[in-house]
Amino acid sequence: MLQRLLPSLLAPTVEVHAHCDLPCGVYDPAQARIEAQSVKAIAEKMADNDDPAFQARAIVIKEQRSELVKHHVWVLWTDYFKPPHFEKYPQLHELVNKATKLAGGGGGTKSSSDVETADELLATVDEIAEIFWETKKG
C-alpha cells in the first residue's frame, strides 16, 4: 500500500514553466542573434544545394532555430524589458512583434527559406539588441 501511496504524495500538484527556476537576471540578446545567424546560414546553404535529403534536414533545423529566435526574443520581452523601457523605446513592442513574425510561419523563416527574410530577421534582432544594451548603460 505504501508503494502506491508514496508516489502520489510526492508528485507535484502544480506544473509550471519558466525561463529558469530562479530569476537569474542574466539576459543577453546574443542567444537570439546566434539562432538568427543560423537561420540565415541555413537559408543560404539551401539555396545552393538541391539534394532532397539535405533540403529535408535543413528545413527541420531551420524551423527549430527559428523557434529558438522567437523564444529568446520573448524571454527578453516578457522577463527583461520593463515599463520604463517601453516608455523610453516605444518602438520596442513593434520590433518584438516584427521579430517573432519574421521567425514564425506565414512567410517568416519558419515557413520560408528566403535569404532576404532571414536577413531582415537578423537586422530586427540587432535592433532589439541595440536597445537592450542601451538599457544596460543607464
Q: What is the pLDDT of residues 85-131, one digit of tens each?
A: 999 999 999 999 999 999 998 889 999 999 999 999 999 999 999 99
20-37: per-residue pLDDT in tens?
Answer: 555 667 899 999 999 999
Average the pLDDT over 55-83 and give the result.
95
Residue 4 pLDDT greater than 90, yes or no: no
The DSSP result for 37-67, as a single string, is HHHHHHHHHHHT---HHHHHHHHHHHHHHHH
Q: Which domain holds residue 59?
A: 29-137
User: For residue 42, is it within any domain?
Assistant: yes
User: For residue 126, is it within any domain?
Assistant: yes
Give the pLDDT of residue 23. 60
User: For residue 74, is it within any domain?
Assistant: yes
Q: What's the number of domains the chain is made of?
A: 1
User: For residue 18, is it within any domain?
Assistant: no
Write down the pTM of the prediction: 0.81
Give the pLDDT of residue 16. 47
Per-residue confidence band for 80, with pLDDT thresholds at 50, 70 and 90 = very high
User: For residue 13, is it within any domain?
Assistant: no
103: domain CATH number? Answer: 1.20.120.400
Name the one residue in this structure whose C-alpha cell is 520581452. Answer: 77
User: For residue 4, is it within any domain?
Assistant: no
Q: What is the percent of the chain with per-residue pLDDT over 70, rounded to a whole number?
A: 81
**Residue (of 83, 84, 75) closest to 128 by Cα position:** 75
User: For residue 103, is it within any domain?
Assistant: yes
User: For residue 7, is it within any domain?
Assistant: no
